[in-house]
Amino acid sequence: MNTAAIAKVISGTAIVCALMCSCMKGSGLPGIVPLPGSVVAEKGEFVLLGESDIYIASDAEGMEYAADELKTVLSGICGVAVLESDDPGASVVLGLSDELGESSYLLDISPDRIKITGGDPAGVFYAVQTLKQLVPAQAYNGKAGRVSIPAVVINDSPKMMYRGVMLDAARHFFTKDEVKKFLDIMALHKMNVFHWHLTDDQGWRIEIDSYPELVGTGSVRKRTIVGKDPGGEYDETTVYDETPHSGYYTKDDIREIVEYARRRFITVIPEVEFPGHAVAALASYPWLGCTGEQYEVRQTWDIDDRVFCIGKESTFRFFEDVLAEVTDLFPSEYIHIGGDECPSKMWEKCPHCNRRMEQEHLDSYRQLQAYGTFRLEKFLESRGRRIIGWDEILEAGISPSAVVMSWRGTEGGIKAAKSGNYVVMSPTGYSYFDYYQTRNTENEPLAWGGYLPLEKVYSFDPYEGLDADDKKFVLGVQANLWTEYIPDFRQAEYMLLPRLAAMSEVAWSSASGNYPDFRARLADFLELYRSFGYTFSETALRE
């Protein structure tokens, strides 16, 4: 995914939302999420019989992925057999058209056939995700008898080319199969960037051949704090579970997951934290820190003062070795280097860091951090990559090629866009899905805090505060799932859904409607969640 492609905003053939809603409800069509650009109901229905023959009218790279997705959908419905055909008159036809934009599609369902035309293979894939919603949800669990799909013409395209979701696997580890399920959920919602948070104080989750102790030591937390973290006030009354938590992804695991994502038109962006959130790495290799002390992988959630030493050249040799292996594994244009929540306490006492500041004529410790960031960026550029980081990287200045992920509100993103840097809007107030979904938290699983109801997510305007010239620097939006208080995948699904449906509409729909309209359409989408066995929050629907 290159910058030009990511930055391009494709406007669909948007129609007035009231007309859209009327068309869906009046025709018996299910509500579609995210809202398509144009929906026109036709007469009749396409009936799925015992066999469906598919004709693929293009041999473009990626068409087989879209076709495989369609086969999976159809073959899962009441035992329908799916056959490839050489006949252009087959009952299902997949093709491409130069007249459609990137990731756009035309889904034309008549009583005689289903015809899917994409501007590219990704567009065909997204049409299949829409088709999933037109199939009666009961058909996926074998409870439907005669299965029919309403005749309809849908013309659709994405508003934003970066539609991201972040999963934190450092605080709690998720298996390879669980990550794949996460990717399937993303694909259903037409989200296309998987930001994978792989390293932090509480765990290092990616195998690095040149530094085996990163997973030998850094992937194992000997115990975890129980209940709400008191934020640094730890004493003999602090309770721990006394249970080791461990796990990491081998290189083969990562290759498999990256390929799995690619076949769903999802780009995987890894995050390797620098210079803060470093304790798991320092526990593995103490010389990476300012003091060289031996630490344990962190067992609590508060921000830690123990960070990478920027004064030592050995730190940069370490990161160049690590990032060389990371870029070999991940083909994404962007590599996320974190950059957030990095205290300078250790640097202030460190002779190596203070010597570095003198040598480089740096006036502040934030400039010291910027020095380190620039060095990592230069190395990544030598390997054909670019950095993306949380908005703290703005504080001492960044290069024109760096991308800013704005999380402390949208102010950092607005500042970056006005300076000509590309931006992903991901503010806590709209995008942090580790926040509670209700004010009545008594019966909810423990969460980080805050309150982010479904309606608030839906109200997110990532362009607010930007003029027309600045808006072109907003690549897109991202939902974040931090997992300090999410110990298993079932709870991850619960926190993600249905809020991801709201975020998907923010990211995808140029013709997005008002919240009551979204809620009406969401009811049909929830039936699909149930058919696929996804866990979602009923509480979020009552707010």
Q: What ranges in 394-488 are assigned the alpha helix state H?
A: 411-418, 428-431, 454-458, 468-471
Strand 267-274 versus strand 334-338 pairing type: parallel
Point out the catalytic residue in the list 172, 277, 377, 470: 277
Point out the catalytic residue in the list 177, 209, 252, 341: 341
CA quadruple 346, 327, 219, 228: dihedral sign? positive
CA quadruple 416, 417, 420, 424: dihedral sign? positive
CA quadruple 59, 60, 61, 62: dihedral sign? negative
Question: What does the block give as tokens for 399?
Answer: 């290069």
Write the CA distances from 435 to 23, 271, 414, 444, 509, integer angstroms. 36, 21, 24, 11, 24
Point out the catalytic residue in the list 45, 120, 168, 200: 200
**How many Å apart are CA 279 and CA 397, to the nearest integer?**
26
Return the bridge partners of 271, or none. Answer: 197, 336
Locus of tokens 């309606």: 455
8 A C-beta contact, residue 45 and residue 151:
yes
Q: DSSP state, 137?
A: G
**How many Å apart are CA 292 and CA 311, to the nearest integer?**
13
- Nearest residue to 115 via CA among 140, 150, 90: 90
Ranges assigned E (strand) in 169-302: 193-197, 199-200, 203-204, 220-221, 245-246, 267-274
241 flagged as catalytic:
no
**How many Å apart are CA 157 and CA 100, to the nearest integer?**
9
Contact residues for 32 (Cβ-Cβ < 8 A; gap 6+) = 24, 39, 130, 133, 134, 154, 521, 524, 525
Strand 147-156 versus strand 38-48 pairing type: antiparallel
8 A C-beta contact, residue 1 and residue 424:
no
Residue 528's CB is within 10 A of a number of other CB atoms, namely 18
197 flagged as catalytic:
no
Write the CA distances from 221 to 173, 177, 234, 441, integer angstroms. 11, 22, 17, 28
CB burial of 347-357 (b: ≥16 within 10 Å; e: otherwise) equals beebebbbebb
**How many Å apart are CA 169 and CA 371, to the nearest integer?**
28
363 flagged as catalytic:
no
Write the CA distances from 214 to 187, 238, 249, 277, 318, integer angstroms. 31, 27, 12, 14, 11
**How many Å apart are CA 510 and CA 532, to the nearest integer?**
28
**How many Å apart are CA 525 and CA 501, to the nearest integer?**
9
8 A C-beta contact, residue 280 and residue 273:
no
Residues recognised as catalytic: 200, 277, 341
